[in-house]
Amino acid sequence: MASPIVFAVDDEVQIRRLLRMACESEGYKLEEAVSVTDALSKFYMIRPDVVILDLGLPDKGGEEFLERIRESGSKVPVLVLSVRDAEKDKIRLLDAGADDYLTKPFGVGELLARIRVLLRHSSPEKTDVKVRIGTLELDFGSRRVTKSGKDVRLTPTEYSFLKLLATYPGKIITQTQILKELWGPNQISEAGYLRVYVNQIRKKIEEDPSKPQILITEPGVGYYLKAEDDSVFH
């Protein structure tokens, strides 16, 4: 099996050197770009498995690279590295299609753990299970999500979140369970992650995200997908 390719888009030499050491220690192949223009010229030739994206690039903001690849239909997982730690910044990047967000300075162990999670989320499914909840349908085999027959575009992390809930329709999955599954045991106190992702998913699957009918919050406990009588497993 070929080594996963990590594409680091960052103009700081020290950061790229750190990323190379970290990735090589895990057996990943690292490719680099130092600007948005450089990254866009290499991205489709490299076909990376994960992108690590800095926002403060010398020619344009990293957000533009993210928007461009998402507009092209790419679903490659993107981990944003940034000194900005305000929740509004994280929400804006997730809206643009990022899968995760890590604030600088960061620990190498946590970075590698997040890369492993993103690789796991984007790996092909080996099951033909389908789940239907009302007009929402998840096909675990193809990783396709549709609502009323129309494709719903989700990032790998959003899909993994929704798939976890869809595996147990009508049953509450606690915040701790979700955090452990999606980000690992060291992130069980990061409930803010869940609120952000739930809001993003609701925008894509609910008729009225402010009055959710599918992805329901159980205050202080967790989340669940509202099971209908016609929920079907194949």
**Strand ranges across the sheet with 100-103:** 29-33, 5-9, 50-54, 78-82, 100-103
Single out the residue of 178, 219, 28 nearest to residue 111, CA to CA: 28
Q: What is the pLDDT of residue 49?
A: 92
Q: What pLDDT score does 23 carry?
A: 93
Q: Digits of tens for pLDDT over the chain (234 positions)?
A: 468 899 999 999 999 999 999 999 999 999 999 999 999 999 988 889 999 999 889 998 899 999 999 888 888 999 998 887 777 888 888 888 899 998 888 889 989 999 998 888 776 554 567 888 888 898 887 888 999 989 998 888 888 888 888 887 888 888 888 887 777 666 556 677 788 889 999 999 999 999 999 999 988 888 999 876 445 444
pLDDT tens-digit profile of 165-204? 888 788 888 888 888 777 766 655 667 778 888 999 999 9
Looking up tokens 């016609």 gives 230
Sketch out the chain's domains with CATH numbers. 5-122 (3.40.50.2300), 130-225 (1.10.10.10)
Q: Is 170 left (phi over 0), alpha (psi -120 to 50) or beta?
A: left
pLDDT of residue 65: 94
CA distance 178 to 156: 15
Q: Which of 141, 176, 138 is CA-nearest to residue 158?
A: 138
For residue 123, what pLDDT is reported?
Answer: 65
Question: Which pLDDT belongs to residue 230?
Answer: 46
In whole angstroms, give the CA distance from residue 34 to residue 128: 41
